[in-house]
Structure 1
Amino acid sequence: MNLAQAVVAGAPPEELARLDVPPTYRAAYVHRDEVGMFKTDTDTDTGTDTGTDKDVRLSLHVGQVPMPELAPDEVLVAVMASAINYNTVWSAMFEPIPTFAFLERLGRTDPRHDLSTHVLGSDAAGVVVRTGAAVRRWKAGDRVVTGPAYVDGEDPIAQHDGMLAADLRAWGFETNFGGLADFAVVKATQLLAKPRHLSWEEAACNLLCAATAYRMLVGERGARMRQGDVVLLWGATGGLGGYGVQLVKNGGGIPVGVVSSPEKGELLRAMGCEHVIDRSGFEDLADEKDWRRLGAEVRRLVGEDPGIVFEHTGRETFGASVYVAKRGGAVVTCGSSSGYDHAYDNRHLWMKLKRIIGSHGANYQECHEVNRLISLGMVHPTLSRVYPLDQAGEAARAVQTNRHVGKVGVLALAPGEDLGVEDHALRERIGEERLRLFRRAPAAP
Structure 2
Amino acid sequence: MNQILDAILASDSTPQDFAALSIPESYRAVTVHKSETEMFAGLATKEKDPRKSLHVEEVPVPELGPGEALVAVMASSVNYNSVWTSIFEPMSTFGFLERYGRTSPLAKRHDLPYHIIGSDLSGVVLRTGPGVNAWKPGDEVVAHCLSVELERADGHDDTMLDPEQRIWGFETNFGGLAEIALVKSNQLMPKAKHLTWEEAAVPGLVNSTAYRQLVSRNGAGMKQGDNVLIWGASGGLGSYATQFALAGGANPICVVSSPQKAEICRAMGATAIIDRTAEGYRFWEDEHHQNPREWKRLGKDIRELTGGEDVDIVFEHPGRETFGASVYVTRKGGTIVTCASTSGFKHEYDNRYLWMSLKRIIGSHFANYRESWEANRLIAKGKIHPTLSKTYRLDETGQAAYDVHRNLHQGKVGVLALAPEEGMGVRDHELRATHIDAINRFRNV
Scaled to the shorter chain, the TM-score interval is over 0.9
SS at the partner of 1:326? strand
1:334 is displaced (CA, Å) by 1.1
Counterpart residue identity of residue 429, structure 1: T
Matching of residue 261 in structure 1 with residue 258 in structure 2: yes
Matching of residue 288 in structure 1 with residue 325 in structure 2: no
> For residue 302 of structure 2, what is the aligned residue in structure 1?
298
1:429 is displaced (CA, Å) by 1.7
> For residue 288 of structure 2, what is the aligned residue in structure 1?
none
1:89 is displaced (CA, Å) by 0.3
Query: Out of 326, 330, 343, which is 2:348 matched to?
Result: 343
Contact 2:232–2:256 (8 Å) recurs in 1:
yes
**Alpha-carbon displacement from aligned partner over 1:270-297 (angstroms, at most 9, x marks no partner):** 1100000011113312311110010000
> For residue 44 of structure 1, what is the aligned residue in structure 2?
none
Q: How does 1:390-409 map to 2 (within 5 A)?
A: 390-409=395-414
Counterparts of 1:408 and 1:101 in 2: how far apart (Å)?
27
Matching of residue 357 in structure 1 with residue 362 in structure 2: yes
TM-score by length of 2: 0.95
Contact 1:38–1:52 (8 Å) recurs in 2:
no
Contact 2:231–2:238 (8 Å) recurs in 1:
yes
Counterparts of 1:359 and 1:79 in 2: how far apart (Å)?
28
Matching of residue 328 in structure 1 with residue 356 in structure 2: no
Could you tell which deviates more after superposition, 149-158 or 224-233?
A: 149-158
1:428 is displaced (CA, Å) by 1.3
Counterparts of 2:392 and 2:312 in 1: how far apart (Å)?
38
Counterparts of 1:253 and 1:3 in 2: how far apart (Å)?
45
Counterparts of 2:122 and 2:155 in 1: how far apart (Å)?
25
> For residue 26 of structure 1, what is the aligned residue in structure 2?
28
Contact 1:316–1:338 (8 Å) recurs in 2:
yes
Contact 1:8–1:414 (8 Å) recurs in 2:
no
The size of the alignment, in residue pairs, is 432
Counterparts of 2:358 and 2:301 in 1: how far apart (Å)?
22
Counterparts of 2:301 and 2:145 in 1: how far apart (Å)?
36
1:19 is displaced (CA, Å) by 1.9
Structure 1: any 5+ residue segments left out of the alignment? 41-48
Counterparts of 1:200 and 1:179 in 2: how far apart (Å)?
13
Percent identity between matched residues is 54
**Alpha-carbon displacement from aligned partner over 1:106-164 (angstroms, at most 9, x marks no partner):** 11121100001100000000000000011010000000000110011222232210100
Contact 1:17–1:140 (8 Å) recurs in 2:
yes
Q: How does 1:29-428 map to 2 (within 5 A)?
A: 29-40=31-42, 50=44, 53-108=47-102, 109=104, 110-280=107-277, 281-286=279-284, 287-303=291-307, 304-428=309-433
**Alpha-carbon displacement from aligned partner over 1:274-332 (angstroms, at most 9, x marks no partner):** 00001111331231111001000000001210000000000000000000000110100
SS at the partner of 1:245? helix
1:20 is displaced (CA, Å) by 1.4
Q: Aligned pair in 2 of structure 1 residues 346, 201: CA closer, same or farther (>3 Å)?
A: same
Contact 1:91–1:98 (8 Å) recurs in 2:
yes
> For residue 7 of structure 1, what is the aligned residue in structure 2?
8
Contact 1:3–1:22 (8 Å) recurs in 2:
no
1:66 is displaced (CA, Å) by 1.1
Contact 2:187–2:369 (8 Å) recurs in 1:
yes
1:419 is displaced (CA, Å) by 0.6
Counterparts of 1:148 and 1:193 in 2: how far apart (Å)?
14
Contact 1:383–1:439 (8 Å) recurs in 2:
yes
Contact 1:35–1:94 (8 Å) recurs in 2:
yes
Contact 1:172–1:179 (8 Å) recurs in 2:
yes
SS at the partner of 2:333? coil
Could you tell which deviates more after superposition, 52-61 or 163-172?
A: 52-61
Contact 1:322–1:344 (8 Å) recurs in 2:
yes
Structure 2: any 5+ residue segments left out of the alignment? 285-290
Contact 1:31–1:117 (8 Å) recurs in 2:
yes
Contact 2:156–2:162 (8 Å) recurs in 1:
no
Counterparts of 1:193 and 1:154 in 2: how far apart (Å)?
26
Counterparts of 2:281 and 2:65 in 1: how far apart (Å)?
53
1:51 is displaced (CA, Å) by 7.5
Contact 1:8–1:413 (8 Å) recurs in 2:
no
Counterparts of 2:247 and 2:45 in 1: how far apart (Å)?
44
**Two-structure CA RMSD over aligned residues (Å):** 1.1
Contact 2:74–2:417 (8 Å) recurs in 1:
yes
Counterpart residue identity of residue 284, structure 1: R
